[in-house]
Amino acid sequence: MRPFDYRRAPDPEGAVAAATGWAEVAFLAGGTNLVDHLKLGLAAPDVLVDISGLPLDAVDELPDGGLRIGATVRNADLAAHPVVRRDYPLLARALLSGASGQIRNLATTGGNLLQRTRCVYFRDPTTPCNKREPGTGCSAIGGYTRHHAILGASAHCVATHPSDLAVAMAALDAQVALLGTAGRRVVPLVELHRLPGDEPHRDTVLAPSDLITSVDLPPLPPGARTLYRKVRDRASFAFALVSVAAVLRVEDGVVRDVRIGLGGVAHKPWRARRAEDVLLGSPADEEVFRRAVDAELAGAAPLPGNGFKVPLTRNLVVSALRELSREER
């Protein structure tokens, strides 16, 4: 591990200032992803700015009925928060389906969103990888691709984003508050992460000194039902092959509100807008659900090792919508 300077940030503005002007810099919160990358040689910052002591660890109810989640709120604390469990159950479900109890006690909201891909080639510095070393090629293409993308990938990178939390937040229309050298700004969660294109080394739209300070969740429409479901190779402590976060409101048999986030299928948490367009205003029945997910998957480009993800995604989304549209007993 390359030596680095360690600085404790006095406040959010001080954290951004401390992170400005370095070739390689990283914010340290829970460390569960970053320290792993330091050991693997995937990250070699000149300076680590520790933000774990900043007052960004609160969960506050907003006047409009929404929720503001501080960037350093621990995943375990967020999943256990009474308001999250009552009003945003899909968020609690997504968090609880990720990592292990000991990791969730360290990992933070901001860090979870900014965790990097679990692509085995990205994590192995002895192999070419455009995300790790731009221009060296992609070892996954023609290689082991069970966990790789079927939507929005490029000839340069087929990695997937591993977060569960981000998928739920995509379906919740979350807004990410940032502090940078030019001040504060807000980015919709679905625009925080990028598709790989020809710059797969850039996971997000953030500049190196941009600090996530909080994430806002708007209130869910009254009557909406939600769900998070994850398919993986073992029942616990594994990343998603495919996951779905869904919000659905049906009135008199017609879909009046729908938001679908997909995980494990793309370089970013994938918002299924094409499926949503088909669903909105249509009868909430199985035929429509199938047509909707097929519209989304029309653009799917599976690799030799992950063709199963196309029917898996189709079945997962249809079953999620079926469950959410079922009459309450």
Partner 1 sequence: MDGEIGLRVDGRRRRLRVDTRTTLLDALRDGLGATAPKKGCDHGQCGACTVLLDGRRVITCLTLAVAHDGAEVTTAEGLADGERLHPVQEAFVERDALQCGFCTPGQVCSAIGVLAEVAAGHPSAVTEDLTGPVELTDDEIRERMSGNLCRCGAYVNIVDAVRDGAR
Strand duo 25-28 + 47-50: pairing? parallel
Annotate 196-214 with b (16+ C-beta within 10 A) or e (fewer).
beeebeebbebeebbbbbb
Q: Is 96 in the site for partner 1 (CB under 8 A)?
A: yes
Taking the complex as a whole, how short is the minimal distance between the CB of residue 200 and partner 1, in angstroms?
Answer: 23
> Is residue 82 a contact point for partner 1 (CB under 8 A)?
yes
Chain residues 226-255 in contact with partner 1, contact rule CB under 8 A: 235-237
Task: Please list every residue from 45 through 64 that binds partner 1, using CB under 8 A.
Answer: 48, 50, 52
Residue 318 and residue 324 in contact, taking contact as beta carbons nearer than 8 Å: no
The reply on whether position 30 binds partner 1 by CB under 8 A is yes
Place of tokens 């690799």: 303
Q: Is 100 in the site for partner 1 (CB under 8 A)?
A: yes
In the complex, least distance from residue 174 CB atom to partner 1, rounded to whole angstroms: 19
Restricted to residues 154-183, the positions that interact with partner 1 (CB under 8 A) are none
Q: Is 85 in the site for partner 1 (CB under 8 A)?
A: yes
**Is residue 31 within the footprint of partner 1 (CB under 8 A)?**
yes
| Part of the chain binding partner 1 (CB under 8 A), chosen from 73-81, 138-146, 260-268, 273-281 | 73-81
Sign of CA dihedral 123, 100, 69, 232: positive
In three-state secondary structure terms, 242 is strand
Contacts of residue 275, defined as CB under 8 A and 6 or more positions apart, other chains included, come to 260, 292, 293, 295, 296, 317
Q: Which stretch binds partner 1 (CB under 8 A): 83-91, 211-219, 257-265, 304-312?
A: 83-91
Instruction: Report the C-alpha gap between 159 and 141 in whole angstroms.
Output: 10
What is the Cα–Cα distance from 157 to 259, expressed in whole angstroms? 27
CB of 326 to partner 1, least distance (A): 17
Total interface residues for partner 1 by CB under 8 A: 39
Closest among 188, 170, 190, 168 to 96, alpha carbons compared: 168
Residue 189 engages partner 1 in binding (rule: CB under 8 A): no
Q: C-beta of 18: minimal distance to partner 1 in Å?
A: 14
Cβ contact 90:98 at 8 Å: no
Of these, 6, 186, 188, 285, which contacts partner 1 (CB under 8 A)?
6
**Straight-line distance from the first to the last Cα atom of the chain, in angstroms, rounded to the nearest whole number:** 58
Largest CA distance in the chain: 63
26 binds partner 1 (CB under 8 A): no
Is position 106 an interface residue for partner 1 (rule: CB under 8 A)? yes
Q: Which residues bind partner 1 (CB under 8 A)?
A: 1, 3-6, 28, 30-33, 35-36, 38-40, 48, 50, 52, 76, 79-80, 82, 85-86, 89, 92-93, 96-97, 99-103, 105-106, 235-237
